[in-house]
Amino acid sequence: MNNKDAESSNLKAWNKEKELIPGMIKKYCKANHSCEEGELCEDCKALTEYALFRLEKCPFKENKPFCSFCKIHCYKPDMREKIKAVMRYSGPRMIFTHPVYAVSHLVQMLKYKKTIEDKRSDR
């Protein structure tokens, strides 16, 4: 695999994530805060804005395969707790609505974790 391909597929994953995050928050809000479909409570609205803002500002968006995983580290503590709850709730459910993406998401996260564990010793 050459570097150019890796870069563009990472960017694609990043763009996909930007579409998926609001959907995941909506799912979570509807189930946990009894909001109507398409409507978010103030908390979840703020969380969506914050998540998209962080994603936009992520300095690694073009060279990292999986943003959600790292992003959780650059969230401020209260937002981090909220997004973790969203991921815990909506993450597994994405397998049913976005099967291909959800699986590759999971695989990429595991790979990314392994990269950290290996401390990039292969480079």
Residues that bind Zn ion (CB under 5 A): 29, 33, 41, 44
The token pair that represents 6 in the structure block: 């890796």
Q: CB of residue 47 vs Zn ion: minimum separation in angstroms?
A: 8
Nearer to Zn ion, 41 or 79 (CB): 41
Nearer to Zn ion, 12 or 33 (CB): 33
> What is the C-alpha separation between 122 and 115, in angstroms, rounded?
9
Q: CB of residue 57 vs Zn ion: minimum separation in angstroms?
A: 23
Q: CB of residue 4 vs Zn ion: minimum separation in angstroms?
A: 40
Q: CB of residue 38 vs Zn ion: minimum separation in angstroms?
A: 12
Give the long-range contacts of residues 106-114, CB within 8 A, separation 24 or more. Answer: 108/13, 108/65, 108/66, 109/66, 109/68, 109/69, 111/65, 111/66, 112/64, 112/65, 112/66, 112/69, 112/70, 113/69
Nearer to Zn ion, 33 or 88 (CB): 33
